[in-house]
Amino acid sequence: MENQDLAQYLPIALMFLFAMGFIVVTMIATHALGPKRNSKVKLDTFECGIEAKGNARVPFNIKYFLVAILFVLFDVEVIFMYPWAVNFQELGMPGFIEMITFIALLLVGFFYLIKKGALKWED
């Protein structure tokens, strides 16, 4: 019985081995067969068509990080609403009340951020 359980995973294991083999063969083939023309221009840093100037480790305002974290936080919270919307009728009134509570907590957090001035760009 245990061999049958493990045999169910054989197609997945074969697909994984085939994919890894393809990746390894492709990487080796491109490095072995590809052209090797290194020059100063080719090895220079390139970003969006603009030449690099100065140090990349220049500090910048922490508000950028804060806004990015807040965006991710609220974006992830919205993702939780999709399964709820799909199962809206099956969840009934208790599911609706739970989602209203969830949205209310999101709004409390959002208004707290506004009150603390986390979204203001000027100091």
CB contact set of 74 (below 8 Å; sequence gap of 6+): 106, 110
Rounded Cα–Cα distance for residues 23 and 29 (Å): 10
- The answer, yes or no, to whether residue 47 has pLDDT greater than 70, is no
Say what the pLDDT of residue 33 is. Answer: 92
Backbone angles phi, psi at 50, to 5 degrees: -110, 130
Alpha-carbon distance of 118 to 107, in angstroms, equals 15
Query: For residue range 53-94, what is the model confidence (pLDDT) as tens digits?
Result: 777 677 777 777 777 888 888 888 888 888 888 998 999 999
Tell me the pTM.
0.46
Total Cβ atoms within 10 A of residue 99: 16
Structure-token pair, residue 11: 């197609």
Average pLDDT over residues 9-22: 95
